[in-house]
Amino acid sequence: MALNRKDFLGLYNVSSEEISEILTTAEAMKEIFTRSVKKIPTLRGKTIVNLFFEPSTRTRSSFDLAAKRLSADVMSIAKSSSSVVKGETLLDTARTLEVMGADLVVVRHSVPGAAEFLANNLKAGVLNAGDGPHAHPTQALLDLYTIKEKLGKIEGLKVLLVGDIAHSRVARSNIWGLNKMGAEVRVVGPASLMPRDIEKMGAQVYTDIDEALDGVDVVNILRIQLERQAKGLFPSIREYRQFYGVSEERLNKLENEVLIMHPGPMNRGVEIESSVADSENSVITEQVRNGVAIRMALLYLLAGRKVENEDIN
C-alpha cells in the first residue's frame, strides 16, 4: 500500500494501516545504514526543500541526511538567510522555491497550521517538520518505530508522556499515533502545563508522577520548553525536578523495567537525570538514528514510489 496523499501534515488524519506502512518501509531504509555505501538512487532527479523557520539541529540534519541518502537534490533554507527577513511572506518564499523545481517542501514553523497553509497553496508536496505546539508527526513516528523495534509491539503497551504537555507538539502527535496503534497513553505534569480537555484525545491524565509510572512499559520524557512559556507556570526548576523529574531513585521503586525515551534536546538535571538518560534502558540515541530511517521512508513514499514504484533494494 502506498501513501495516497500529496502532503503529510500530522497523524490525526492518518490511518493505522498507513502508519504500519511507514514503519515497515523504515525497516528497509534502516538496513541501508549497514551497507558500506549508505546511499541508494531512489530519489535521483527529485528536489527536496528544507524550509526551517525555527532553530533545529536533530530534525533539520535528519531530513537533510535522509534526502541525500536517497540521492535527492537538497536545498536547506533558514529564516535568517531567507527573504522573509526583508518582509517576504512565507507563501511567496515557498512559491519561489517551487518554481525552481521543488518536488517536496519540508517545513518547520512556529505558527500552528503553517504546514497546512502551504499544502493548500502549493502544487508541491508538503511535509510537516513541526508547526508550533500543534504537531510533529515524524518525531512521533520515530518514537513508534523505536518502541516497536525494542519491545516487539505497540498494541497493548502502556506509554507515559511526562512534562510540558501544553506546549508539546511531540505529545499531541504521540497521543494520536499511539492510540491508533492500540497503546494505552498516560500523561503527567503540573496542572499548569496540562492543556484543557487533553483527555478527549484519548490520554489518561495524572498529576502524580509516581502514580502515573505504576505499570507502564515506556516513559517518554518531554523537554521543559522555557522559550514557549509565560512566566509562572511552575514555581521553580528545583521544584519541577523534585515533583516531575525522572530520576534513578524514582525508577528503582518500580516493579518492572521501563524503556526511557526523550525527543531532545535534553535539560539534564531538570526533566531527566543523567544516570537515567545514559542508562541501559535508555534508547535516546537510537531515536535519533531511527529518525533518519523514518524520514527516508516518508520522503520515499511521498516523492518517490508514487511515480516509479521503484525497488528500494
The b-or-e profile of 207-221 (16+ CB within 10 A means b, else e) is: eebeebbeebbbbbb
- The pLDDT tens digits of the residues spanning 51-107 come to 999 988 899 999 999 999 999 999 998 887 777 777 889 899 889 989 999 999 999
pLDDT at 185: 98
pTM here is 0.93
> Measuring CA to CA, which residue among 65, 45, 167 is closest to residue 106?
65
- The pLDDT tens digits of the residues spanning 265-312 come to 999 999 999 999 999 999 999 999 999 999 999 999 998 755 444 555
- The pLDDT tens digits of the residues spanning 298-308 come to 999 998 755 44
Identify the band that residue 229 occupies on the pLDDT scale cut at 50, 70 and 90. Answer: low
Calculated CA dihedral for residues 304, 305, 306, 308, nearest 10 degrees = 90
Write down how long the chain is: 313
